[in-house]
Amino acid sequence: MTVTDRIRASAVPAARAELDETLRRILATPSLAAQLLLAAADQLTTSRPEQTLTISGWGRTLARADQRVLSGYPQSIAQHAARRSMCALDAEMWATARTRGEWALCLRAAARTV
C-alpha cells in the first residue's frame, strides 16, 4: 500500500513503532492474578522466610498483597484477579509447602501459570 500524503507518511512509522513498543510492554507485564501471587511471595521471602507459615500469616500476607496490587481497580476486576490467583494454587501446595520461603517458591511457580 502506497501512502501519498507526505504528512501522514512520515508519521505512520513512528506511530507504528510506538504502538509496537506499547504492545511489547503490555505483553511483558504479568497479569493482575500473577502480580498478586508475586507480591505475596515477595512479602513471604522478606519477612522470616525460615518460619512456618500459619493460617493467620497467610491471611495477612494475602491481604497486604491484595492491597498493594489490586487497590484502585474496580471491584469486579479485583475479585476476578483474586479468584484466578487462588485457583492457581493446587492441592499439592497445601500438603508440601511448610515454611514461608517454601510457600514463596510455590507462589512464584503458580504465578507463571496465570
Q: What is the pLDDT of residue 100?
A: 95
Query: H or E stretch including 1?
Result: none
pLDDT at 77 over 60: yes
In the structure, what pLDDT confidence band is assigned to residue 86 with cuts at 50, 70 and 90? Answer: very high
Q: For residue range 35-52, what is the model confidence (pLDDT) as tens digits?
A: 999 999 999 999 889 999
**What are φ and ψ of residue 103, in 5° steps?**
-65, -40
Amino acid in position 43: Q
Mean pLDDT of the chain: 87
Helices (H), 5-90: 6-28, 32-46, 55-70, 75-87
- Which residue matches cell numbers 513512528? 14
Distance CA 98, CA 81 (A): 25
pTM here is 0.77
Q: What is the pLDDT of residue 24?
A: 87
Mean pLDDT of all residues in 55-67:
94
In the structure, what pLDDT confidence band is assigned to residue 93 with cuts at 50, 70 and 90? Answer: confident
Distance CA 56, CA 96 (A): 18
The answer to whether the CB of 88 falls within 8 A of the CB of 54 is no
